[in-house]
Each structure stands twice: as C-alpha cells, then as structure tokens.
Amino acid sequence: MTGSGDRVQLTYPLLASPRQVWDALSDADMFGIWFGAELDSSHPGLGRAQQPYLGSTFTISMDQIDPPRMLSFRWQPVATVSGESYPAEPVTLVSFELGEISGGTKLTITESGAIAGQPWTDQAVSRCLWRPRELAMLVEKYLSGARDLRRTDHRE
C-alpha cells in the first residue's frame, strides 16, 4: 500500500474474473453486502453502516463509471452512531480500477481527499473508514462465497 499527500492506494490480486469483480463493485445490493452497509433506495446517496458502526450514516455519490474497468464515488460520514454530526469531515474520492491478470483480476483501490497533516491511519480509525487493503479483502471474501449474515433465509 502506498500513501502520499492526500491519497492512499493499494493494488490487490483477486482470484475472480473481471466481470465478477465488476458486479460486486457496481451492483448496489452486492456492494452493500461486502461493504457492510445498507444503501437507502428511498434516499439515493444515503447509506447506513452495519456492525460494528451500526447506525452511522454517510453520503455517497457516484463520480465516474466506466464498465467494466473503473468505478469511483465520493463519500462523507454524516453522523455518528449517536446521531451527532462529524465535525468538518472532508468528502473523499474512492476509485476502483480493474485489470485482467492471469487467473483473475488486479484491483487497484485509491482514496484521496485526506485531511492535510493527519496520517491516513489516524483518519481511517477516527472516521470509521475502511482502509484500501481492508476493502480489497472484503471484496475477496465476498467473491469467495461468504454468506450475507444479515439475511435470515440464508440465501446466497
């Protein structure tokens, strides 16, 4: 993982086809499963986090979509679990770039828009954000057949 200035980036190999990875990233239901969030269809652009940050909300807006190669969105924490607003949180840009490799997909995740002078690790912890490595591992776990534990009927 590399980080400099206002961005952090990770390239991660996945043992899944680019189509499978694209679907996991671009389908709102699939995204919500691996990301651990519910995207609110009655309020487009609003998401609610799952455990361990149950109740936290964030805004999300699509930035660019170039199927099946690249997808990016901007997001910002809106409120804590207790409903308090985050003080002056910046909107960050998260991009996913896909490339075909032998036996799978190269996934590059970049997040930019950091708070100047604050290390990314401190920001990720204080803002309850996933680091790019954790995002890649969540996608990988989802693609390997992890079950959505939010469902009571145990459908895959």
What is the side-by-side strand order in the sheet with 37-39?
2-4, 7-14, 104-112, 92-101, 70-79, 57-66, 46-49, 37-39
Structure tokens given for 39: 């995207």
For the range 79-83, what are the long-range contacts, defined as Cβ-Cβ under 8 Å and sequence gap of 24 or more? Answer: 80/56, 81/53, 81/54, 81/55, 81/56, 82/55, 83/55
- Reported as a pLDDT band with limits 50, 70 and 90, residue 156 is very low
- Is the model more confident about 150 or about 36? 36
CB 33 within 8 A of CB 44: no
What domains sit in the chain, N to C, each tagged with a CATH number? 2-143 (3.30.530.20)
Q: What is the pLDDT of residues 90-130, one digit of tens each?
A: 778 889 999 999 999 999 999 887 666 665 555 554 444 55
- Reported as a pLDDT band with limits 50, 70 and 90, residue 34 is confident
- Is the model more confident about 59 or about 26? 26
- Tell me what pLDDT residue 45 has: 61
**pTM, two decimal places:** 0.74
Distances (CA, A) of 102 to 7, 23, 76: 28, 19, 35
- Tell me what pLDDT residue 32 has: 82
CB 77 within 8 A of CB 128: yes
Mean local confidence (pLDDT), 50-59: 61
Query: For all residues of the chain together, what is the average pLDDT?
Result: 74
